[in-house]
Amino acid sequence: MSVVDKQKIVSSVPQKGFFGHPKGLFTLFFTEFWERFSYYGMRAILVFYMYYEVSKGGLGIDEQTALSIMSIYGALVYMSGIIGGWLADRIFGTSQAVFYGGILIMLGHIALALPGSLTMFFVSMVFIVIGTGLLKPNVSSMVGDMYSEKDDRRDAGFSIFYMGINLGGFISPLLTGAVMGYSFHLGFGFAAIGMFFGLLVFLFTKKKSLGLAGTYIANPLSPDEKKKVYLVIAGAAVLIGIILAVTIPTGLLTIELFIAIVGILGFIIPTIYFFIMYRSPKTTEVERSRVLAYIPLFLASVMFWSIQEQGATILANFADKRTQLDVAGIHLSPAWFQSLNPLFIILLAPVFAWLWVKLGKRQPSIPQKFSLGLLFAGLSFLIILLPAYLGGTNSLVHPIWLVLSYLVVVIGELCLSPVGLSATTKLAPAAFSAQTMSLWFLSNAAAQGLNAQIVKFYRPETEMLYFGIIGVSAILLGIILFLVTPLIQRQMKGVR
């Protein structure tokens, strides 16, 4: 998109109207608030729905398999963002991508809300994965469309938008967790209603508040190219349908094999990305050096997200099976602990933003911040190891241990996640700026693909060993990253 086009989009958006920001920020803030409300509300109770017995309203899936499916679910959501971004850039623009994605997400939650079979569960999974891939990367892109490149409000605008994400993620588990004891399907129904509200906000306010933002197609396909793409998509859908129709009934494609395939793809896809960027004639020598510097940061990110994302699997299971849920006359839902991560981010993000500004040039470098992120992630697992060490694996533990674990990993997240986004924009080759951002999100997909394999080793009898090995590994990797920071810094060629 040319500079003229960008300025035309910015000029079409009312620049005052939401806390001194463009009016469209209201639309996107609440669209994303309700989308995250629906997603995190669903995710907070999904793993329990999978492994609870049928008599308790669940699907009765084996516990280890349920934990693996939960991880693969997350991996597929992040992988699908690549496809969603491409479709928006080449075919229908970000605004339509957000709308179509919201509809698919709502349909996925409705499928979960209707009492059904394992088949309905997997149907909902497909809808939500594709829908989130369409909506999530593109709604963020629309936020950027509303600001000119030199607008000093841009970073603050994204901070406000990020607050919407975490507010939705904080509130929804409290609601769905409160009703899961009565009916999982009621909780999923609330998630569907949340996405419905998000669609209403988007539809009824976008015309007056977003202007041309999201309506431009950045790199449109020609009519002939579109026809070819549609044929490829239709052919792929038919082929996948035939393969599934043959392999599932015959037992050739099992859940375990599917989990393994997605886990492998989680590492193969980013490897291909790195290879293409490094070998491309469009990448300069300085950019090649920065690509090499990005590799250890990517691997550190995989290690970090592997621990952080287990908050929705292993720690959710820990809350359900190992935590004392009756405290001071109050019965806690195990799903409520899923609200801790967004709550701590809301409380601590302004503190970290102030800290980095205050330190100025004395603040840690990018690799050093990554090493701090790994250190805190590892410590969060060592904290949750302590109750088993002190009281054994047979007694219930006080919920404060989970609270502390979530708090410490959020400190690590604030050292690594925002810094990683910034580093990605700085280290990306000019010809691959959008793809490199996709690569950053693929570190989460790779992490959850890895988790799908390692969560199988978690059992009460292996609890201390499980948390100990992963926690110590993260700390050691953080120390190694800290020690090689000077080498990475040289490869970054002036980026700090």
Helices 285-308 + 433-454 axis angle, to 10: 30
Q: Report residue 42 as tokens.
A: 């669903």
5 within some domain: no
44 within some domain: yes
Between 91-95, 97-101, 290-294, 454-458, the lowest mean confidence (pLDDT) is in 91-95
Q: How much is the pLDDT for 2?
A: 47
Domain termination residue (choose one: 220, 237, 270): 220
243 within some domain: no
Q: Are residues 214 and 286 in the same domain?
A: no
**How do residues 293-349 score in pLDDT, each as one tens digit?**
999 999 999 999 999 999 999 999 999 999 999 888 889 999 999 999 999 999 988
DSSP type of residue 284? -
Q: How much is the pLDDT for 433?
A: 66
Domain enclosing residue 484, as ranges: 254-496
Residues 6+ positions from 454 with CB-CB distance below 8 Å: 306, 470
Q: Are residues 208 and 277 in the same domain?
A: no
Answer yes or no: pTM beyond 0.95.
no
Q: Are residues 258 and 362 in the same domain?
A: yes
Q: Are residues 266 and 155 in the same domain?
A: no
**How do residues 30-69 score in pLDDT, each as one tens digit?**
888 999 999 999 999 999 999 998 888 888 999 999 999 9
Q: Are residues 149 and 20 in the same domain?
A: yes
Helix/strand/coil percent split, the chain, to 5: 80, 0, 15
**Burial class of 65 by CB neighbour count within 10 A (0 to 12, 13 to 18, 19+):** middle
Domain termination residue (choose one: 205, 220, 235): 220
Mean pLDDT of 189-215: 89
| Secondary structure (DSSP) of 53-121 | -GGGTS----HHHHHHHHHHHHHHHHHHHHHHHHHIIIIIHHHHHHHHHHHHHHHHHHHHHS---HHHH
Angle at 492 between CA 305 and CA 138, to 5 degrees: 50
216 within some domain: yes
**How do residues 387-402 score in pLDDT, each as one tens digit?**
888 877 778 899 999 9
Share of the chain above pLDDT 70, in %: 97
Q: Report residue 294 as tokens.
A: 């990005």
Residue 3 has pLDDT above 70, yes or no: no
Q: Are residues 153 and 284 in the same domain?
A: no
Residues 6+ positions from 392 with CB-CB distance below 8 Å: none
392 within some domain: yes
Q: Are residues 284 and 193 in the same domain?
A: no
Q: Are residues 273 and 414 in the same domain?
A: yes
Q: Are residues 314 and 409 in the same domain?
A: yes
Q: Report residue 482 as tokens.
A: 């800290």
Residue with tokens 């309506």: 215
Q: Are residues 73 and 212 in the same domain?
A: yes
Residue 485 belongs to domain with CATH number: 1.20.1250.20
Q: How much is the pLDDT for 164?
A: 81
pLDDT band with cut points at 50, 70 and 90 for residue 361: confident
Q: How much is the pLDDT for 4?
A: 44
Q: Are residues 198 and 96 in the same domain?
A: yes
392 phi and psi angles, rounded to 5 deg? 85, 170
Q: How much is the pLDDT for 103?
A: 95
Share of the chain above pLDDT 90, in %: 44
Residue 205 has pLDDT above 50, yes or no: yes
Domain termination residue (choose one: 174, 197, 220): 220
Q: How much is the pLDDT for 111?
A: 92
Name the domain count of the chain.
2
CA terminus-to-terminus distance, the chain: 29
Residue 214: closest CA among 222, 223, 205: 205
225 within some domain: no
13 phi and psi angles, rounded to 5 deg? -95, 125
**Of residues 116 and 237, more confidently modeled:** 237
Mean pLDDT of 11-32: 81
**Quick check: 445 and 129 in contact, CB under 8 A?**
no
Residue 88 has pLDDT above 50, yes or no: yes
Q: Are residues 261 and 356 in the same domain?
A: yes
